[in-house]
Amino acid sequence: MHLGGLRCNSTTVTLGTDVATTHDAKRISRVLWVDRFLTFIRLAFVVVIAVGLFAFIAQQIDPQNPLARWLNPDATGLTAPQFKGLLVTGLAQGAMYGLIALGYSMVYGVLGFINFAHGEVFMVGAMSGMITSNKLADAGLWEDAFLFCLAFVVITSILISTAVAVIMERIAYRPLRGAPRLIPLITSIGVSFFLQNVSVVLLGPGAKSYPSLPTWLSQKRSLLGFEIEGTKLVVLLTAAVSMAGLWFLVERTKTGKAMRAVAEDKEIAALMGIDVNRTIVTTFAVGGAMAGVAGILWGILFRSVIHTTGFLPGIKAFSAAVVGGIGNLGGAMAGGLSLGAAEATAPLVLLEPLGVDGVSQLRDAVAFAVLIFVLLVRPSGLFGERLSEDDRA
């Protein structure tokens, strides 16, 4: 029916009982009902976390402990290397989520909508990395000149995913500028669906693998008391370098200043002589480049890519952006790291002591639960949102 139909300006109420103060008693009781329920859910979350942690500590002290046996009769406890291993895995994946989250965060900061298709830009990066690295491996270069090849692969995949992001903005989002914010969201769902299936019809539906990495890279080495596989080290380092580059771009260059200005207020930025369209394209391009890097990191970590690769990391990265406070770039990275760590450790630390079977299957469910929990308890994220006035709504 109407375009405005999808507008949902719900006031973000954290513990808002003040809404009902001026109305009659009946109304107050009605509003309180949902609030009580929400408080109950929040409490339930906290209780589950507390009990899980408590049981975990109990089982760490002594697995034969009655407290540890209470919920999980065959509690064994984690050894320190196991825990560290989980943590490192989580952080490496978290760094990748953080890189993707930057794209969500920047676009949300500037345009105020969730670019659902950003996960697919990441997938495109991983796919193009797969193609180029396999071609290089066929030519026999991958093993011999690994670092050179890696640089080449990273650069091509950055170029391709940047191009995809920019084309996407031009075709699908620019005509919708100024529409109610759910309209571009629905469009981006369509774009995401389309890109996934483009990959299916062009490259075939099966999973494709990266060539195997040289052994000097994948072997474990110890660092600061942690046993880290070389690949995870590469992932963490690459993420740190990209983050530093992005920080420099946003905080220290003229382009970055323009981006911040457009995020603050588009009209005033335009009055100040900033080319808003170009800045928005730059935002998409930078987000796309970060997603391209993340795609290669995915390839290095998991060595396998399929058309649905972008979906879950995309959602998780969005969660990371929310956790860190949307629009806040440092927050996005921190959110990614904490989400990755939570998702890797929580099944074994929280759920296993609670007596849940097959916990590793619930990793993704944990990531979604983190998102829901953060939105319930602190919708503006751990490190605060940075949005313009009208996007805050």
Q: Which of 29, 82, 144, 190 binds another protein (CB under 8 A)?
A: 190
Q: How far is the CB of 24 from another protein (least distance, A)?
A: 10
Stretch that binds another protein, among 11-19, 262-270, 276-284, 296-304 (CB under 8 A): 11-19
Q: Is 387 helix (H, G, I), strand (E, B) or coil?
A: coil
Q: How far is the CB of 257 from another protein (least distance, A)?
A: 27
- Binding track over 349-378 against another protein, x by CB under 8 A: -------xxxx-xx-xx--xx-xx--xx--
Q: How far is the CB of 188 from another protein (least distance, A)?
A: 9
Residue 332 sits in the site that holds another protein (CB under 8 A)? no
Which single residue is written with the structure tokens 């697995």?
A: 63
Quote the tokens at residue 75: 């509690």
Residue 386 sits in the site that holds another protein (CB under 8 A)? no
Residue 67 sits in the site that holds another protein (CB under 8 A)? no
Distance CA 14, CA 11 (A): 9
- Binding track over 118-157 against another protein, x by CB under 8 A: -------------x--xx----------------------
Which 95-124 residues touch another protein, going by CB under 8 A? 113-114
Whole-angstrom CA distances from 28 to 12, 41, 138 are 18, 20, 70
Cα angle for residues 154, 157, 160 (degrees, 5° grid): 150
Look at residues 299, 291, 277, 20 and name the one whose alpha carbon lies nearest to residue 160. Answer: 291
Residue 93 or 242 with smaller CB distance to another protein: 93
Q: How far is the CB of 74 from another protein (least distance, A)?
A: 14
Residue 41 or 217 with smaller CB distance to another protein: 41
Which 204-243 residues touch another protein, going by CB under 8 A? 204-205
Complete DSSP assignment for 13-67: -SS--GGGTTS-HHHHHHHHHHHHHHHHHHHHHHHHHHHHHHHHHHHHH-TT-HH
Distance CA 120, CA 305 (A): 12
Q: Which of 185, 249, 270, 348 binds another protein (CB under 8 A)?
A: 185
Q: How many residues bind another protein (CB under 8 A)?
A: 74
Backbone angles phi, psi at 196, to 5 degrees: -55, -45
The two beta strands, 220-223 and 304-305, are unpaired
Stretch that binds another protein, among 58-66, 214-222, 280-288, 314-322 (CB under 8 A): 314-322
Cα angle for residues 181, 381, 116 (degrees, 5° grid): 35
Distance CA 290, CA 125 (A): 9
Residue 243 or 291 with smaller CB distance to another protein: 291
Residue 61 or 372 with smaller CB distance to another protein: 372
Which 32-61 residues touch another protein, going by CB under 8 A? 34, 37-38, 41
Helix-helix angle 329-346:230-252, to 10 degrees: 160
Q: How far is the CB of 113 from another protein (least distance, A)?
A: 6
Residue 17 sits in the site that holds another protein (CB under 8 A)? no
